[in-house]
Amino acid sequence: MNPQQLQTFIDRLWDSQIVPRLVEYIRIPNKSPMFDAEWAEHGHMDRAVALLESWARSQPVPGMELEVVRLPGRTPLIFIDIPGQGTPAGDDCVLLYGHLDKQPEMTGWSERLGPWTPVLEGDRLYGRGGADDGYSIFAALAAIGALQEQKLPHARCVVMIEACEESGSYDLPYYVDHLASRLGRPSLVICLDSGCANYDQLWLTTSLRGLTGGNLRVQVLREGVHSGAASGVVPSSFRILRQLLSRVEDEASGRILPPELHVEIPAQRVEQARDSVAVLGGVVAAMFPMMPGMRPVNDDLAELVLNRTWRPALSVTGVDGLPPLASAGNVLRPYTTVKLSLRLPPTLDAVRAGEFLKQLLEHDPPYGAQVSFEVEKASAGWNAPPLSSWLERSVDAASREFFGAPPAYLGEGGSIPFMGMLGEKFPAAQFLITGVLGPGSNAHGPNEFLHIPTGKRVSACVAQVLADHARSGT
C-alpha cells in the first residue's frame, strides 16, 4: 500500500463528491420513525435513500450490486454487495454498517445555523445527520475505492445502511433475517456510527450502553381545576411524578438506586477508563457546553468516564401536560407525562430492565393516582470481544499513519442496537467500532457538525484495516 496515494484518493473524493452530497443530505428532514410517525407519507426518508443510492451507484466499483430493500411496513435499507478483490470467494465477508435516519430538530441552534441548513465553516459541516450518520456510506465506499485504485486485495464487503437506528433499530432484525443467505458470515464488522474523544487519533469503541425508556404518565384529575381551591387537597401530579422518579434516581447525586439496574464493571474497562483520562485530562468534562460555574457530578475524571460508559443514568427528554409560560394560568393540572430515557450498562438485559422499570414505577402509586409507564424501547448494549492480534496491529498502524498518533480505546455512553444483535449472531467476528462524533460535535443537539478532516482520516483507517484483514487470512 502507498499510504500517501490512498489518503490523496480519499481526500479528493471527499472534497469533490462527498462533502457536496452531504450538504444536500443535511437539507432533507428525514427524521427517524419515532419522531415522524408519517415518515412514509412525507417522503423525506425516500429522498435521503435516493440521494445516497444515486451517489453509491456512480462509484466505479467493479461488480458492485446495490439494492434498496423494502419490507412491508418497515423503513428501507440500502444493501451493497461488493465482491472481493484478490481473495477467495466464500461466506466470509466484512460487514460495514451505518444509518441514514436523523434525530429531530431540537431547539437552541445558533442564529446562522439550523438542523436542515447546511453550513460549511472551515473544517466543519454543520447540520443534522452529517456526522450521525450520513457520512458512513461515503466513508465505507471511499475506503473500498481507495484499495481498488491500488489493486490491493480485500475481502468481499457488504455495506448495510439502515433507516431506523435513531428509533432503536426495531426494523433491522427483520432485514438481517431476510438477507441472511446473502449476508454470509462476517469475520469483521466495521461500524461507523460511534464517537471519538478527540480529533487527534483513531478511537475504538470498547462498549456501548443499552437503553430502555418510555412515557410515564401521572393523572390526578379528570380536568384541571382552580389551583387556589384544590391545592392542599388534591396532590399535584408533578409532585407525585417527583416521588416516582426518586424510586429510580437519587436526586442529589444522580445515582440510579435499584441494584437490578447495575452490573459489575470488568477490570479491563476500569483500566481503560484510567488510560483514557491520561490522554484526555479535563476534556472528559470540558467537551460538553456547560454553563459558566457549572461542575460535573464528580471530580474524579475516571469515575466520570465510567459513569457515561458502564453505569445507568436517567434523563427526562420530553414532557406533556405543562402549558407554555405565556398561557400558564392558576390551574392545578390534571396530569403530567414525561418521556424517560434510561441508559443501561452494556451487559444488562434491556428488555428485563424495561419490565423492571415499569413494575417499579407503577406499583403502589402515591395517593392512588393513576400511574402508567409505557415502555417504548429496549435496546441491547454491547461489550466488545478482545481484539485479535492482527486487528490490534492494524488499528495501531492505521492511527499512526493517518492521524500521527496511536489509537485510543473508550466505551461510549450511547447505544447502537445493531452491535448487540450482531455480537449474538456472529460471536466469532471481530469488531471495529469507530466514528467522527468528537468534542463539540453535539449529535442529537443543536449545532451538530461533522469534522471533515476526521471523516477523511477515518476513511483511510478503514481502508488500512480492510487491507490488513485480507492479508491476515481471516
- What pLDDT, in 10s, does the model give residues 97-145? 999 999 999 999 999 999 999 999 999 999 999 999 999 999 999 999 9
Our count of domains for the chain comes to 2
Residue 282 within a domain: no
pLDDT value at residue 422: 83
User: How high is the mean pLDDT of the chain?
Assistant: 95
Mean pLDDT score, 135-160: 97
| Domain boundary, last residue among 347, 379, 411 | 379
- Shared domain for 7 and 144, answered yes or no, is yes
pTM: 0.86
- Cell numbers placing 315: 434523563
pLDDT value at residue 188: 96
Confidence label for 427 from pLDDT (cuts 50, 70 and 90):
confident
Of 137, 98, 102, 96, the C-alpha closest to 116 is 102
| Max CA separation in the chain (angstroms) | 81
| Domain boundary, last residue among 379, 399, 420 | 379
Reported as type and span, the H/E element at residue 339 is strand 335-344
pLDDT at 473 over 80: no
CATH code of the domain covering residue 231: 3.30.70.360
- Shared domain for 14 and 163, answered yes or no, is yes
Residue 288 within a domain: no
- Shared domain for 58 and 178, answered yes or no, is yes
- Shared domain for 316 and 391, answered yes or no, is no
- Rounded to a whole number of angstroms, the CA Rg of the chain reads 23
Of 319, 312, 279, the C-alpha closest to 409 is 279
pLDDT value at residue 419: 85
Q: Are strands 124-126 and 119-121 parallel, antiparallel or unpaired?
A: antiparallel
Do the Cβ atoms of 38 and 28 come closer than 8 Å? no
> How far apart (Å, rounded) are the C-alpha atoms in residues 354 and 381?
13
| Domain boundary, last residue among 322, 356, 379 | 379
Q: Domain of residue 215: give its range.
A: 210-271+300-379
Confidence label for 418 from pLDDT (cuts 50, 70 and 90):
confident
Q: How many residues does the chain have?
A: 474
> How far apart (Å, rounded) are the C-alpha atoms in residues 398 and 461?
5
pLDDT value at residue 417: 80
Q: Of residues 295 and 415, which shows the higher confidence score?
A: 295
pLDDT value at residue 425: 85
Reported as type and span, the H/E element at residue 214 is strand 210-219
Mean pLDDT score, 371-389: 93
Residue 120 within a domain: yes
- Shared domain for 372 and 432, answered yes or no, is no
pLDDT value at residue 371: 98
Mean pLDDT score, 425-449: 94
Confidence label for 345 from pLDDT (cuts 50, 70 and 90):
very high
CATH code of the domain covering residue 75: 3.40.630.10
pLDDT value at residue 10: 98
Of 442, 449, 450, 446, the C-alpha closest to 105 is 446
